[in-house]
Amino acid sequence: MVKSSVLGYPRIGAEREWKRTLEAFWSGKLEESELHSRLQEIRLNHLRKQQEKGIDFIPVNDFSYYDHVLDTATMFGIIPKRFPYEGGVVPLSVYYGIARGTKHATASEMTKWFNTNYHYIVPELDGASPVLTENKPLAAYREAKEKLGIEGRPVIVGPLTFLKLSKGYDTSETDAWLNRLLPLYVQILQELEREGVQWVQIDEPILVTKLSGADVKRLQTIYETFAGSVPGLNIMLQTYFESAENYSDIVRLPVKGIGLDFVHGLAGNMASLKELGFPADKILGAGVIDGRGIWKASLREKLVLLQELAELVTAERLIVQSSCSLLHVPVTVKKEASLIPELKNALAFADEKLDELVLLAKAFSSGEAVISDELEKCERALQALNHSGERNRIDVQRAVAAVSAKHPERTLPFSERFLAQQKKWQLPIFPTTTIGSFPQSAEVRKARQLWRKGEWNNEQYDSFIREQIDTWIRLQEEIGLDVLVHGEFERTDMVEFFGEKLAGFAFTQNGWVQSYGSRCVKPPIIYGDVAFVKPMTVEETTYAQSKTKRPVKGMLTGPITIMNWSFVREDMTREQIACQLAFALRQEVEALEDAGIRMIQVDEPAVREGLPLKEKDQAEYLEWAVNAFRMTTCTVQDTTQIHTHMCYCEFHDMIDSIEAMDADVISIETSRSHGELIHSFELNTYKLGIGLGVYDIHSPRIPRVKEITAMIERALRVLDPKLFWINPDCGLKTRGFEETIDSLRNMVEATQIARARHCLKVQ
């Protein structure tokens, strides 16, 4: 009988009860004992659901109080030196301090988990002396067995992946760090073996990226050590997000099972299996159900795939599983009452994917006839969506094809545009601005809710939004900012807002996924052809501009970010979807310019997130991503200044592509890793306008003037003062009123200090 498995389950709960519990604790409304009690209840409910669905291998230790990588670091006592810690189990005050910052210490860097929209806390190894503070996988295993009778499969982030994702050590110290960590991993595994654990899932997603010869040797050392230390423990070495690199080395490792992604890594993994075979003494975890996508799987196609795999690996050595953790998808489709039937029937969220796994295991073991009704229902649902009018708009497809055939570029090069824009705007050295959003208070959220429920009419809501704009235009002038924004009070989310106004999008009521910590997002669904309907941002932006003589930026989200932060259709390439989005957004840019808005920010914080994990695919992606941005912005006048914003990325390996976007000004989220980015500019020259985020908006602490001044001075060592802007590192929607005001005042004061120091140098 073929078994089913899932690699992880969403933490947040169908009603986001996990998020609300954390935030209640952080705000002081919940005692620590109550936090533990509520989170245990949520955790057990998730396990119980998988048990009742019939999943054979249920993961434990995939649940977290914030982030699974942070869990691993604190389990090993790896605590940044700026946080008070005296050993033993890490207190929640320290755990959450590392994640969120405190009044006295900055938070650790946060960055994306491979090429997903989930962000993890980067472990800081500098100065740490690792020791096992608690065996979290063992505690999770015991809880599942004692409370629910579940023989769980503990999940652990593997040593090589953990090291490669950490910072604070030189590459020459890698082996020394491995030698420090390996005994701790062995201790965890030995305690699990003594407890009677049958299977352990060790996640090594780093194995889908390019490894050095030294890393391959380290991999061999790790798993040979495990095999010698815990001979009775079955290890499932799990990869995901792409096909495994160094396949021949991986399959020779002394582990009982190897998990491969046959969704996003289908071509590469299948080629490796056919060419090199699969060991007869190992179990293959076949990741055939997409753990990152929301579309219903064609069960017939998946059964064909499983049959193909069974010709290479005997059926009794197959486990049917998700391609990765279901962390990346919403919890259930059942609560979505407002979606059109053609769309809803074609969706599968986490709970529905559990059903798919069980059905596939059942059919593969007993024959298709046992699920014939489900097979027919599935195919009808998928065909209905593919034949819908929304997916077959010939007018849109033809218009986008015509525009895509032309190379998008501005009339003048940046050097000439810069002079024209300087003459037009007459801005001081080091212009100050913000990224776009201002705090969305409880009052703002309540007003939006009243309007959406119909308790407020459009006039009432519009009047409220204008009052918010009035307040913040006045505050920005009082603070002394040079370039203002309207504040985005009418927007729930930077992607959802635009999706609601464009054709081809749909929105769930409860389709939330975790982005970082308790931050949850509800990605739109791009299910049809994307088209511009009418101006989306002109009204609020022009109103704000009418209230001040200082320039107000129009604020848009760029095509690549909208695509990467949405769930997208699978019947078109991502490049085709990006072009449709770019063409629609170009029409909004032109509408803003026609209305007199001559500074327009087109944010692309997620460009790096879409970068393929395979080096061979990256150049092609960057080329069409850059073209999509340029398609959005290339038709404006030379004096219209195009801004963009990006979250922190490995700047040095993308600098050519970022320059090729040809934005007049780029702002980059860098405050948590400012030193690394400055080093990138020491190695590379950047010739366009740029603003490095000078303080961290994810932390509640107010940055001191001295800190911001130091940030500015470090940046000016390698950047042209004439091209340098000063701004926070991201939008301010999630921050409080007073802390936002105080932080911006400190930023402006630091700017004035910098101007006094550098003014004579650049005249």
What is the C-alpha separation between 641 and 536, in angstroms, rounded?
A: 19
pLDDT tens digits for 158-213? 999 999 999 999 999 999 999 999 999 999 999 999 999 999 999 999 999 999 99
What is the share, in percent, of the chain residues with pLDDT greater than 70? 97
Find the mean pLDDT for residues 374-394: 95
Task: Assign 3-class secondary structure to 357-381.
Answer: HHHHHHHHHHCHHHHHHHHHHHHHH
Task: Specify whether the CB–CB gap between 118 and 327 falls below 8 A.
Answer: yes
pLDDT at 13: 95
> pLDDT at position 405, please?
85
The response to whether 512 counts as a known ligand-binding position is no
- The residue-averaged pLDDT of 385-403 equals 94
* Helices assigned H by DSSP within 480-510: 496-499
User: pLDDT for 735-763, tens place per residue?
Assistant: 888 999 999 999 999 999 999 998 755 44
* Answer CATH for 414-440+479-762 from 3.40.50.970, 3.20.20.210, 3.40.50.880, 3.40.50.300: 3.20.20.210
pLDDT digits (tens, 9 = 90+) for 44-71: 999 999 999 999 999 999 999 999 999 9
Is 147 annotated as a binding-site member?
no
CB of 329 within 8 A of CB of 292? Answer: yes
* Residue 52 marked ligand-binding: no
What count of other Cβ atoms lies within 10 Å of the Cβ of residue 525?
A: 23
Condensed to tens digits (0 to 9), the pLDDT of residues 501-510 reads 999 999 999 9
Given a cut of 80, is residue 255 above it in pLDDT? yes
Selected residue with higher pLDDT from 693 and 237: 237
Q: With cut-offs at 50, 70 and 90, classify the pLDDT of residue 1.
A: confident
Please give the single-letter amino acid code of residue 655.
Answer: I
pLDDT digits (tens, 9 = 90+) for 218-245: 999 999 999 999 999 999 999 999 999 9
Mean pLDDT of the region 572-591? 97
Between 687 and 640, the higher pLDDT residue: 640
Residue 324 among known ligand-binding residues = no
Mean pLDDT, rounded, for 703-726: 90
Q: What is the pLDDT of residues 499-557, one digit of tens each?
A: 999 999 999 999 999 999 999 999 999 999 999 999 999 999 999 999 999 999 999 99
Give pLDDT, residue 763.
46
Amino acid identity, residue 43?
A: R
Catalytic residues: 698
CA separation for the pair 23, 25 (Å, rounded): 5
Mean pLDDT for the chain overall: 94
Domain map (residue ranges) of the chain: 414-440+479-762
* pLDDT number for residue 513: 96
Res. 687 pLDDT band, cuts 50 70 90:
confident
| Sheet of 599-603, strands arranged across | 554-557, 599-603, 641-646, 665-668, 689-693, 724-727
Q: What share of the chain has pLDDT > 90, as a percent?
A: 86
Tell me the pTM.
0.90
Please check whether residue 346 is in contact with residue 381, taking contact to mean a CB–CB distance below 8 angstroms.
yes
Is 520 annotated in a binding site? The answer is yes
